[in-house]
């Protein structure tokens, strides 16, 4: 049995990184609860878990970005305390984030040596030739195919990752953390990245590999650590696990009754999307939502859920397909068109695309609705304030006053401000993209109650979420997206989180 001997070989390798009993809380939220992670030299260690399971927090602690409340970190047997990212770098920990962090206008070689430029005979003069030669040597040493004099802005995402890895190697990193490295890569680039990762492993480096794409992990990782709700649920060799077992560990919690049950009556078809395509990354999407129905939409980060929402709402142009709401085919070319046709979108990023943070709460509520509340020509501030207060009281927004700036509110109340905006708009079809992201548990339940209430009013709701429990708690059916396509349309009561996760991560069998 080769796998067994491999396993034995892995088990005897020296421990490169040992994190023990790491806890971290943010306000009342316990992000990590006594989590451990043991990574051996010359192995690839997968770190998996649902969104919010604590993977990023754990890695940020390793990188010195956060300090743990308790717990210890040992690197090659040496106890380390990182109070800033620079210390982690010196100890040989390098992070490669999803958002690559390169100076676009500089060359590959200049990026690799950024901040550590070899100096020429004249002080303060960078020795350009030397940089190029040394970058070349480094790349050749690992069999990476990259041109040191190329400008980073001309490189593909895959090449940029190689540059990041070379940067890490130049710093003599022994532990390289990759956070969702394949989410923006083409299939060919993914294969090349795997080759690079295997090269690193062969040289005795440790790679901590974070990915939602379970099939990748199964083929690549030697060991795996699974987190759920900030706790360690499983850690061990990859050979002992398969995808269904990993999925079970990831989602295996009881669905508690903090999801209020809805009583909406499901009526006739209100929304019909057929063969919708957009350049931004939605391919041939078709689904229907009935009056009073909550359709959940599941999928991994980058699966194209937000692209579908944005295309329906007119943010991204659609290249083909139909959107029919209440028997009318809509020709939506901008959010303004969508809103006037009764379509609403609560965007996933309330700070970037939702609120005007420095403006008063009441202004944020009425912004898309000034015409509807009879203020097409003249705004009457006192009446506007009354209207805003009226809709705010329906969903219990806590603010100092309607004139207070939106950024003086808590995350949950900011989200409610945006919900209030669409309540006032009285839309027929409402799309909620990650409405519970970054808000506390109490506010989440309020959001669920509200979704149910809206369904009871006969609206059609598309509820996009990365958290399976809330989809299963609230949605009548679940649409599953993977790589821009709809791969599942399941009735909630007849499916399981395992099935949905499997579809989202691996697609149809």
**Cα separation values, 421 from 52, 311, 339, Å:** 27, 20, 11
Which tokens hold the place of 476? 């009548």
Is there binding between residue 84 and other proteins (CB under 8 A)? no
Strand-pair partners of 177: 95, 208
Residue 460, phi then psi, degrees to nearest 5 = -100, 135
Of 107, 206, 311, 347, the residue at the interface with other proteins (CB under 8 A) is: 347
Is there binding between residue 403 and other proteins (CB under 8 A)? no
Of 27, 376, 396, 509, the residue at the interface with other proteins (CB under 8 A) is: 376
Is there binding between residue 335 and other proteins (CB under 8 A)? yes
Touching other proteins, residues 467-506 (CB under 8 A) = none
Is there binding between residue 352 and other proteins (CB under 8 A)? yes
**Cα separation values, 9 from 39, 46, 196, 197, 234, Å:** 14, 17, 21, 18, 20
Q: For other proteins, which is the closer residue by CB, 266 or 357?
A: 357
CB of 347 to other proteins, least distance (A): 6
Of 11, 125, 356, 386, the residue at the interface with other proteins (CB under 8 A) is: 356
Is there binding between residue 358 and other proteins (CB under 8 A)? yes
Is there binding between residue 459 and other proteins (CB under 8 A)? no
Of 345, 392, 461, 505, the residue at the interface with other proteins (CB under 8 A) is: 345
Q: Which stretch binds other proteins (CB under 8 A): 12-20, 149-157, 276-284, 332-340?
A: 332-340
Q: Which stretch binds other proteins (CB under 8 A): 151-159, 297-305, 377-385, 436-444?
A: 377-385
**Cα separation values, 109 from 105, 170, 191, 293, Å:** 12, 11, 24, 55
Which tokens hold the place of 133? 């030669």
Touching other proteins, residues 411-440 (CB under 8 A) = 421
Q: Which residue is it, tokens 């106890």?
A: 79
Which tokens hold the place of 323? 């959107």
Cα separation, 283 vs 369, whole angstroms: 32
Q: Label each residue of 196-236 as H, E or C.
A: HHHHHHHCCCEEEEECCCHHHHHHHCCEEEEEECCEEEEEE
Q: What is the dihedral of CA 382, 384, 390, 395, to 10 degrees?
A: -130
Q: Could you give the 3-state DSSP secondary structure of residue 181? A: coil
Q: Which stretch binds other proteins (CB under 8 A): 75-83, 114-122, 234-242, 346-354?
A: 346-354
CB of 381 to other proteins, least distance (A): 8
Is there binding between residue 402 and other proteins (CB under 8 A)? no
- Whether 460 and 293 have beta carbons less than 8 Å apart is answered as yes
Short-list 296, 338, 295, CA closest to 316: 338
SS3 content of the chain, % helix, strand, coil (to 5): 40, 25, 35
- List the beta strands (DSSP E) in 326-367: 328-329, 343-346
Q: For other proteins, which is the closer residue by CB, 52 or 368?
A: 368
Cα separation, 167 vs 112, whole angstroms: 4
Cα separation, 297 vs 305, whole angstroms: 7
Half-sphere exposure of 191 (CA within 13 A, CB side): 2
Q: For other proteins, which is the closer residue by CB, 6 or 408?
A: 408
Short-list 364, 435, 346, 369, CA closest to 405: 364
Q: Which stretch binds other proteins (CB under 8 A): 154-162, 199-207, 255-263, 357-365?
A: 357-365
Binding mask 243-282 for other proteins (x = CB under 8 A): ----------------------------------------
How many residues line the site for other proteins (CB under 8 A)?
Answer: 32
Is there binding between residue 359 and other proteins (CB under 8 A)? yes
CB of 338 to other proteins, least distance (A): 7
Q: For other proteins, which is the closer residue by CB, 182 or 414?
A: 414
Is there binding between residue 157 and other proteins (CB under 8 A)? no
Cα separation, 311 vs 305, whole angstroms: 10
Of 99, 377, 382, 509, the residue at the interface with other proteins (CB under 8 A) is: 377
Half-sphere exposure of 28 (CA within 13 A, CB side): 5
Is there binding between residue 340 and other proteins (CB under 8 A)? yes
CB of 263 to other proteins, least distance (A): 31
Binding mask 301-320 for other proteins (x = CB under 8 A): ------------x-x-----
Of 114, 370, 395, 487, the residue at the interface with other proteins (CB under 8 A) is: 370
Of 141, 301, 336, 386, the residue at the interface with other proteins (CB under 8 A) is: 336
Q: For other proteins, which is the closer residue by CB, 380 or 508?
A: 380
Question: Residues for the chain: how many in total?
Answer: 509
Is there binding between residue 368 and other proteins (CB under 8 A)? yes
Task: Enumerate residues 6+ apart whose C-beta is below 8 A from 8.
Answer: none
Q: For other proteins, which is the closer residue by CB, 51 or 408?
A: 408
Cα separation, 402 vs 11, whole angstroms: 61
For residue 329, count CB atoms less than 10 angstroms from its CB and return exposed for 0-12, middle for 13-18, buried for 19 or more.
Answer: exposed
Is there binding between residue 38 and other proteins (CB under 8 A)? no
Is there binding between residue 367 and other proteins (CB under 8 A)? yes
Of 4, 103, 379, 491, the residue at the interface with other proteins (CB under 8 A) is: 379
Interface contacts to other proteins, rule CB under 8 A: 313, 315, 334-336, 338-340, 345, 347, 352-359, 363, 367-368, 370-371, 375-381, 408, 421
């Amino acid at each position: 049995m080769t796998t067994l001997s491999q396993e034995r070989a892995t088990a005897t390798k020296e421990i490169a990184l040992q994190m023990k009993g790491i806890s971290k809380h943010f306000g009342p939220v316990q992000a990590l609860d006594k989590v451990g992670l043991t990574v051996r030299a010359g192995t690839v260690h997968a770190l998996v878990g649902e969104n919010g399971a604590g993977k990023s927090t754990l890695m940020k602690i390793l990188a010195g970005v956060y300090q743990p409340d308790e717990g210890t970190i040992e690197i090659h047997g040496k106890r380390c305390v990182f109070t800033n990212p620079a210390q982690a770098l010196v100890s040989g920990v390098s992070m490669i984030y999803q958002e690559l962090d390169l100076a676009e206008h500089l060359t590959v070689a200049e990026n690799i040596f950024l901040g550590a430029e070899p100096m020429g005979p004249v002080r303060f003069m960078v020795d350009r030739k030397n940089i190029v030669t040394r970058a070349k040597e480094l790349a050749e040493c690992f069999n990476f195919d990259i041109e040191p004099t190329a400008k980073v802005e001309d490189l593909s995402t895959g090449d940029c990752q190689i540059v990041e890895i070379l940067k890490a190697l130049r710093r003599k990193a022994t532990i390289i953390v990759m956070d969702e490295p394949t989410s923006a890569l083409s299939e060919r680039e993914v294969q090349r990245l795997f080759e690079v990762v295997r090269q690193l492993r062969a040289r005795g480096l440790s790679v901590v590999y974070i990915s939602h794409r379970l099939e990748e992990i199964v083929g690549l990782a030697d060991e795996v650590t699974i987190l759920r709700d900030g706790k360690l649920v499983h850690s061990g060799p990859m050979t002992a696990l398969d995808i269904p077992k990993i999925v079970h560990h990831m989602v295996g919690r009881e669905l508690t009754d903090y999801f209020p049950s809805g009583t909406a009556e499901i009526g006739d078809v209100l929304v019909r999307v057929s063969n919708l395509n957009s350049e931004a990354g939605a391919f041939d999407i078709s689904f229907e939502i009935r009056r009073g129905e909550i359709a959940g939409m599941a999928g991994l980060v980058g699966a194209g859920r937000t692209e579908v929402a944005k295309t329906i709402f007119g943010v991204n142009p659609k290249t083909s397909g139909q959107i029919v709401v209440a028997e009318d085919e809509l020709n939506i070319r901008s959010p303004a068109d969508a809103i006037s046709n009764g379509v609403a979108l609560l965007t996933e990023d309330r700070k970037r695309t939702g609120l005007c943070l420095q403006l008063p709460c009441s202004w944020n509520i009425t912004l898309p609705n000034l015409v509807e509340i009879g203020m097409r020509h003249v705004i009457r501030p006192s009446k506007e304030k009354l209207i805003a207060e009226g809709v705010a009281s329906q969903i219990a927004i806590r603010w100092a006053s309607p004139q207070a700036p939106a950024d003086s509110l808590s995350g949950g109340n900011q989200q409610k401000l945006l919900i209030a905006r669409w309540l006032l708009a009285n839309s027929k079809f409402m799309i909620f993209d990650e409405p519970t992201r970054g808000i506390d548990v109490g506010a989440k339940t309020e959001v669920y109650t509200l979704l149910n209430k809206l369904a009871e009013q006969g609206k059609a709701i598309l509820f996009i979420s990365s958290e399976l429990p809330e989809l299963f708690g609230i949605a009548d059916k679940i649409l599953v997206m993977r790589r821009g396509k709809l791969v599942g349309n399941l009735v909630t009561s007849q499916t399981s989180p395992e099935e949905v996760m499997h579809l989202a991560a691996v697609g149809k069998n």
